[in-house]
Structure 1
Amino acid sequence: MKLKLTLLFTFCLLSQLMAQEKDLVNYVNTLQGTNSKHELTRGNTYPTTALPFGMHTWTPQTGRNGDGWKYQYFKDKIRGFQQAHQCSSWTRDYAVFSLMPMSDKLVVNENDREAKFSHTNEIAKPNYYKVTFDNQITTEISPTERGAHIRFSYPAGKKSFLVLDGYTRLSGVQIFPKENKIMGWVNNGEGFKRGWKSYFVIKFDQAIKGYGTWENKTNKINADSIATEGFGKGAYIEFKAGVKVQAKIASSYISLEQAELNLKSELGLDKNLEQTKAKAAEVWNKSLGKVLVEGGTEADIETFYSCFFRASLFSRKFYEIDKNGKPYYFSPYDGKIHEGYMFTDTGFWDTFRAQFPLNTLLHPEMQGRYMQAMLDAYKQCGWLPSWSFPSEAGSMIGNHAISLLADAWVKGIRTFDPKEALDAYYHEATNKGPWGPANGRDGWKEYFQLGYVPYPKYREATAKTLEYAYDDYCGYQLASLTDNTFYKDIFGRQMYNYRNVYDPSTKFMRGKDAEGKWSSNFDPIEWGGPFTEGNAWHWVWSVFHDTKGLIDLVGGNNKFTSKLDSVFSEPNKVKVGTYGGMIHEMTEMVIADMGQYAHGNQPIQHMVYLYNYANQPWKSQFYAREVMRKLYNATENGYPGDEDQGQTSSWYVLSALGFYSVTPGTGEYVLGSPLFKKITLTLENGKKFIVDAPANDKNNVYIKSATLNGKSYSLNFLTHKDITNGGVLKLEMDDKPNFNRGLNKEDKPFSLTK
């Protein structure tokens, strides 16, 4: 008997160790969401080969230079392998150059050099990308934080060329044939100070046999030329026939010397690509291993880790490490070199909702650096970031930097001065910047004077009012937590302004002019006008900080939940409104076939969790699982719309854990229904939080009962401390709703209105 028990214990221990050492990176498909086009996006992603939050990434290129759709799954030709930073197809890319191998004949024209390939000859993982063209050239890529290790394998007996394309705008290259090296720079991208450059160095392990330069406007080739600079300048080199050549690449925004230092520190010890690949896998397995999921289908696990991968790319590190091991960076905001950390490539309108809360939970040290970096950016350009790629663009609406700052503070991150943060936010809230509508505050004077942004004087005015009110709550919250009565009083007066655009006669948010008249010919399915990328059905729920106040406006719990139900039961129709035609978000809502629920865009993504506030938490459990089941998978069609810098992925990751960040800034996560039987979060403080739901499956989606650390738990939310203190949330799952759990007042998540 003792022997049997010993063997059983040993088996269980080995099983646990094997689970902890899973090669999680192999669950990831970086092709997820790549089957996208302008009129219908399935993610608008590209197969990113990168380290978590890496400064530079690499991807194959099927689109023309400058095309926002750099890789589209339905295309069958590749024209290069790019250094890439693009966070959205709608924003374009920056600091791009590409490499393209070819055999037999040198061709530089990007259209003529394309090579056919099949997805059956393609491997796409975070740590390793490989493709074999129909012409038998194989390209392999493995990443570092600021570079990549690439191997080109040419067919035997054929001439072997490599073309470097300087992409769009100015570039410069210099070839060092005796050193088997190319150095250069590019300055493509928007919003940089004049003279900005991204420097790169490429070192080969095979001798350069021939070389020259070219430019991509006329495709003129200058044989034997070793240096050139100007518009679209590039280079080519020739190796001996049929060679396998490895290229070590690193880039820097600071100098060529720093690029060489980046290469030495990140790739100097790697003798071959296999070593870089293994190191990258180790980094990714550690990052993905912060959340270990067990007891789900293989497809669900693949979707989870593919989404977790996407959630772990943005915001991108924009700093480098000097020869003394200290961080410093070129600022995209003032064009100067500064000590410390900087991050970029995100749009807060998307990512304040789930991506930043997820990173605050799993990467608090990085988030602490990020909060100070935002205030440094404010000092450098005079405005808090809102949409940076890499400098400030002010795209979309709202002033959501304050959401990040308040959420960080309430969750114990103390790396920044809250008075500086509040001063910066006050400046945002009382000025309009020179760039897009989210740079400063569009309509700020009327918002303060009238209590709302008037429409049609301002585009998307009602959506702006709703998001300003939430942001003002975040300012109020940070001021309250830091005993700043001045800002507490100011923002406390504005955070209820959502009430001023609610029309009780229609029970929707509506456009209102400066005289207080509602906009005419109201139709809740009409897109645009006073709303951003949506309609009244999508925007009525955007009262993140006061759901109870919204419930009262609608007429109580029953009317509120009935209205929530109606989102899914309303006809799946679109009225294009001021857009004048179908945009991809409309098409994606129709394809989803969930009534007026438009998960492919951000405004309504939190809606399924609002049943928790109105005595029907079981419906949040049901619909959270429905959205995960119907609208996500790990394939090229894996998303219900734009992935958006990790936001749509982070919604899935948090929801699969069983909770969601409805109101960043409160330190609460609202319960849904976990996707797996067991989930283990390993936190930076060394503690573990486990969601244990042994009966969970595709039918048992409802929480029958719960315990937290062994004690009965009826609340419809968890606090950040509940998780970071470590413990076990035990869930008894069932195929039938429990209509009696989570109904008491104290069970409800946070709302300003009590």
Structure 2
Amino acid sequence: MFGTYGNFEVMPLLCPNGFDTCTTTLAARQRLRKPSTDGESILSRRESQGQLLSIWMRPSDASPGYFAQTLDNDIKMEATPTRRAGLERFTFPVGSKPYFVLDLANDLPVSFAGGMLNIDPDKGRITIGGRWGSSFGPGRFNYQAFACYDLLNGGKQKLSEYGMWTGDTYGLDAKGLGQTHLNLSLNLIGGVYQSGALFSFDINPPASPQIILRVGVSFRSVEQACANAETEVGDASFEEIHERAKAEWQEKLSKVEIDVANTPPNITEMLYSSLYRASLTPNNATGETQGVFEDTTSFYFDSLYCSWDTFRTFFPLMALHSPVEFAQIVDSYIDGWRKKGWMPECRANNLPGWTQGGSSADNIVSHFAVNYHNEAARLGINLDELYSALLADGEINPPEWNIQGRQVNVYKYVRKVHYQK
């Protein structure tokens, strides 16, 4: 499938000979995983403790709400999230000095279109903002994204060196010790920017250094990214955030229970692993909207990836177990009609994605109306608006149908000719 996002990547480094020797470029810094240190999560039933689903983890593992891996240089990386923020924990080999490279320009689709990075050494904070392109849509469109990295872990960590780096695929790997500002425009000559921040921490050897970074993200501003980190993480510990994440996933996955005797463990694992993945997208970006949706009072979902692939699979499943979330997504579809005149077909990265000739959003909202007609008002859906959105999709030809979808006039003409015959 298509890579998307991957913004604001942070990479731990070992630089035994100091700041200027760190390997910061993408090719030079890549590492392999240490063999036999990460494995699959184990899903099991624990009725005796009142839990449908319990997620057991081996050291260096992955499960809902947690990820860890150990690199072949013995640096262990762990992460645990909230909705718009999270904590990243790094354990370095005994006696080593922790270095980190933080990207401004790099993302998975290599679509950077300009941005800024600032270091506030007194506050111990790095803020980033920029524009990137959609992973599944016309390349002329760009979305904005922002991040706020707090480096001091509530005063428990001390920043040592800090500065900027820039590189390219031809061997450039330059460092600027003490620099605090980086501003890049769109690369107009066809190259790929590789730039960001480089920083290190003071430690007390011979201890095994452990560094915790707090990060908040936003589609609106660096101020909101920092506020998201403050409100959703605050001064909570890594373990506390991890427990909250596990509890949220427990609630979501427990909507479906297996009550069939002698169900093989691999079937249980496959079911809940599939439900977990089915819960990752569309992404609930309510409160993080931009463009014409910036001040909407409706729910907003990004990565409708894509309506023609999900109306016959994901949404029928959602109709069985998640009417509230289904209604929220339907509200987001209808709000597309309110703001733009048509419901979205394949929104990705807050941008219009590629379209097909049909109108698959109509199937999704219609499925909701049929299943929850009597409950629609209580779920926040106005069925008159839903019908008006359906009518617009079916009868009004967009001026840019290759962006909005539905070249309705051609279909209506062919239909008219067919019936005249």
CA offset at residue 119 of structure 1?
A: 5.5
AA partner of residue 161 (structure 2): G
Counterpart for residue 199 of structure 2: 237
CA offset at residue 141 of structure 1?
A: 0.6
Counterpart for residue 200 of structure 1: 147
Q: Is the 8 A contact 2:84 2:216 kept in 1?
A: yes
Once the two structures are superposed, the pairs formed by residues 496-511 of structure 1 within 5 Å of their partners are none
Counterpart for residue 303 of structure 2: 345
Counterpart among 62, 67, 72 of residue 124 in structure 1:
62
Does 2:269 match 1:309?
Answer: no
Q: Is the 8 A contact 2:148 2:217 kept in 1?
A: yes
What CA distance in whole angstroms lies between the structure 2 residues aligned with 1:377 and 1:221?
45
AA partner of residue 381 (structure 2): F
Distance change >3 Å, CA 126–CA 180, structure 1 → 2: same
CA offset at residue 353 of structure 1?
A: 0.9
Distance change >3 Å, CA 202–CA 126, structure 1 → 2: same
What CA distance in whole angstroms lies between the structure 2 residues aligned with 1:269 and 1:339?
30
Distance change >3 Å, CA 405–CA 97, structure 1 → 2: same
Counterpart among 267, 275, 281 of residue 233 in structure 2:
267
Does 2:195 match 1:228?
Answer: no
Counterpart for residue 336 of structure 1: 294
Q: What per-residue deviation string (whole Å, max 9, x for no partner) do you get for residues 496-552 of structure 1? A: xxxxxxxxxxxxxxxxxxxx9xxxxxxxxxxxxxxxxxxxxxxxxxxxxxxxxxxxx
Does 2:217 match 1:251?
Answer: yes
AA partner of residue 256 (structure 1): V
Distance change >3 Å, CA 276–CA 111, structure 1 → 2: same
Once the two structures are superposed, the pairs formed by residues 625-644 of structure 1 within 5 Å of their partners are none
CA offset at residue 394 of structure 1?
A: 4.1
Counterpart among 313, 322, 326 of residue 363 in structure 1:
322
CA offset at residue 417 of structure 1?
A: 3.1
Counterpart for residue 411 of structure 2: 444
Counterpart for residue 162 of structure 2: 211
CA offset at residue 447 of structure 1?
A: 3.9
AA partner of residue 111 (structure 1): A
Counterpart for residue 468 of structure 1: none
Provide structure 1 residue ranges, at least 5 long, that are not aligned to the other structure: 1-88, 321-328, 452-492, 494-515, 517-754
Counterpart for residue 101 of structure 2: 163
Does 2:11 match 1:100?
Answer: yes
Q: What per-residue deviation string (whole Å, max 9, x for no partner) do you get for residues 78-112 of structure 1? A: xxxxxxxxxxx33x424722011011251111000
Once the two structures are superposed, the pairs formed by residues 461-500 of structure 1 within 5 Å of their partners are none
CA offset at residue 435 of structure 1?
A: 5.4
What CA distance in whole angstroms lies between the structure 1 residues aligned with 2:340 and 2:28?
43
Q: What per-residue deviation string (whole Å, max 9, x for no partner) do you get for residues 644-685 of structure 1? A: xxxxxxxxxxxxxxxxxxxxxxxxxxxxxxxxxxxxxxxxxx
What CA distance in whole angstroms lies between the structure 1 residues aligned with 2:28 and 2:94?
22
Distance change >3 Å, CA 119–CA 438, structure 1 → 2: farther
What CA distance in whole angstroms lies between the structure 1 residues aligned with 2:114 and 2:36?
37
Aligned residues: 355
AA partner of residue 427 (structure 1): A
Distance change >3 Å, CA 165–CA 381, structure 1 → 2: same
AA partner of residue 353 (structure 1): R
Once the two structures are superposed, the pairs formed by residues 37-436 of structure 1 within 5 Å of their partners are 89-90=1-2, 92-94=3-5, 96-104=7-15, 105-118=21-34, 120-122=36-38, 123-166=61-104, 167=106, 168-190=112-134, 197-204=144-151, 205=153, 206-217=157-168, 218-231=172-185, 232=193, 233-241=195-203, 243-270=209-236, 272-294=237-259, 295-320=262-287, 329-332=288-291, 334=292, 336-346=294-304, 347-389=306-348, 390-412=350-372, 413-414=376-377, 415-430=380-395, 431-432=397-398, 434=400, 436=402
Higher relative contact order (CA closer than 8 Å, sequence separation 6+): 2
AA partner of residue 26 (structure 2): E
What CA distance in whole angstroms lies between the structure 2 residues aligned with 1:95 and 1:142?
16
What CA distance in whole angstroms lies between the structure 2 residues aligned with 1:215 and 1:171?
14
Distance change >3 Å, CA 433–CA 153, structure 1 → 2: farther
**What secondary structure does 1:410 align onto?**
helix
Provide structure 2 residue ranges, at least 5 long, that are not aligned to the other structure: 16-20, 39-60, 107-111, 186-192
User: What's the TM-score once normalised by structure 2's chain length?
Assistant: 0.77
Q: What per-residue deviation string (whole Å, max 9, x for no partner) do you get for residues 161-220 of structure 1? A: 110112133221111222222111131123699885312111122211001112354543
Q: What per-residue deviation string (whole Å, max 9, x for no partner) do you get for residues 410-452 of structure 1? A: 222233333333333333234255254871236423442245x
What CA distance in whole angstroms lies between the structure 1 residues aligned with 2:356 and 2:139?
20
Distance change >3 Å, CA 338–CA 201, structure 1 → 2: same
Q: Is the 8 A contact 1:349 1:397 kept in 2?
A: no
Q: How much identity, in percent, do the aligned residues show? A: 22
**What secondary structure does 1:365 align onto?**
helix
Q: Is the 8 A contact 1:147 1:250 kept in 2?
A: yes
Over the residues paired in the alignment, what is the CA RMSD in angstroms? 2.6
Q: Is the 8 A contact 1:386 1:395 kept in 2?
A: yes
Q: Is the 8 A contact 1:397 1:438 kept in 2?
A: no
